[in-house]
Amino acid sequence: MHGLTHPEAVTLGPDATAWELADAMDAHGVGSIVIVDAARAPVGIVTDRDLVRRVVARGLDESKVRASEIMSRDLVTGDPHETSGELLERMRARGVRRIALVDDGRIAGVASFDDVLTGLATVLWNAADAVRVELRETARKTATRRRAEAREELVEDFRSYVSELESSARTRIEHDVRGFFDWLGGRRD
């Protein structure tokens, strides 16, 4: 999952206020905060959508609502070494857009749906570029090989033609020489 996760998950404790959560999201440019206990083990997640639906839409005081009151406790987790495909399948199956990556019981990062898709798009684009380069090189080598084969075929055809000309010329010369000697022989009489 290298390059497809936020370098480090932004984390806060369960006592953080909704205001602190929103401020941290804004400061770090993320859409979620992983809520961790004292040992940095993930216990929940709060997304920007959670803040809107569970705090703002209800008209609650952002400075009094705690993360523990609005976090999703059914945190979907994954291993930092899982493939993008495995993470996407888990997101689809669980209906989430973010997975907390946990290594040895501690939060190691967050994989978002957008991050994974962007990473996959980059991988696919790079693969397509590599295929294009390989196809061009193969076409170049094929064209070079075909030109060499055509050249050899032309040389062989030319040799064959010259050989036929030599044979034809030799036959014609022999015929002409015999005819000349026959003519000379006929004049002696």
Question: Could you read off the pLDDT of 127-166 as tens digits, one per residue?
Answer: 899 999 999 999 999 999 998 898 899 888 888 888 888 8
Strand (E) or helix (H) holding 78: strand 77-78
Task: Write b or e for each residue in 26-50: b if 16 or more Cβ atoms lie within 10 A of its Cβ, otherwise e.
Answer: eeeebbbbbbbeeeeebbbbbbeeb
Domain count along the chain: 1
3-state secondary structure of 161: helix
Between β-strands 32-36 and 42-47, what pairing exists: parallel, antiparallel or unpaired?
Answer: antiparallel
* Residue 15 belongs to some domain of the structure: yes
* Residue 139 belongs to some domain of the structure: no
The predicted model scores a pTM of 0.62
* Residue 50 belongs to some domain of the structure: yes
Integer Cα distance of 118 and 10 in angstroms: 20
* Residue 137 belongs to some domain of the structure: no
Structure tokens of 55?
């705090």
52-56 — which CB contacts under 8 Å span 24+ positions? Answer: 55/18
pLDDT level of residue 120 (50, 70, 90 thresholds)? confident
Could you tell me the CATH number of the domain that includes residue 69?
Answer: 3.10.580.10
User: Using only C-alpha atoms, what is the Rg of the chain?
Assistant: 40
pLDDT score of 1: 52
Query: Containing domain of residue 77, as a range?
Result: 11-113
